Structure 1
């Protein structure tokens, strides 16, 4: 399994922006260059475990929050993101989003059943 460094970088950038920190501030706090932070955020550089933990600690997020696009068991992270997504929605937006989610879920399960039947017939 390969790590998705672009997804990790994107999550780092989002967490950094939410904390209102600059790349320079993160770099200063963990002892790397701002350019390296930039390269990590764009996925142009891999991030060591030590640096990833330092970034997570600085941003007060879990490493799971940063790796959830690569880790197979990440349901809790995505449930938290879904909850946060709804927090600033009005009633109409929530209703529309829930309708879209229901339709998407049904479609996913229908396609999965269809794929399973094809596999059974092979």
Structure 2
């Protein structure tokens, strides 16, 4: 789905890094990232999509939700922490906390 690639492009733009610098941060070749952004996420390897999402501080589920709900403006889910790199364990803890907070919402309607 091209929508996912559009979401990734917007989120990468919000990091302030150019595509080449972001690819380096994510640990994938620039040409691979460029292909994901141009052709869509569907043809990319799962490992590369995970690397991009981790570098953005989001999960695959976050990406799916943003792609499904995008109305032209992306609301960044991850907090930006200048100069900090998160471990996989820390990102998982953040994801779990986010799910906990969502579970505390009162039903609307």
Which TM-score applies when normalising by structure 1? 0.48
Output the CA distance in 2 between the equivalents of 1:19 and 1:27. Answer: 12
1:14 has 2:10 as partner: yes
RMSD: 3.0
* From 49, 52, 67, the counterpart of 2:49: 52
1:67 maps to 2:57: no
The higher-RCO structure (CA 8 Å, 6+ apart) is 2
Contact 1:8 1:43 in 2 (8 A): no
Q: Which residue of 2 aligns with 1:38?
A: 34
Preserved contact between residue 30 and residue 55 of structure 1 (Cα < 8 Å): yes
Q: Deviations over 1:31-63 (max 9, x none)?
A: 322122111011257221111111111011221
Unaligned runs of 5+ in 1: 85-122
Structure 1 consecutive aligned stretches of length 4 or more whose deviation exceeds 4 Å:
81-84
The answer to whether the Cα contact below 8 Å between 2:4 and 2:40 also exists between their aligned partners in 1 is: no
Greater fraction helix: 1
Helix, strand or coil at the partner of 2:33: helix
Q: Greater Rg, structure 1 or structure 2?
A: 1
| Contact 1:7 1:43 (C-alpha < 8 Å) held by counterparts | no
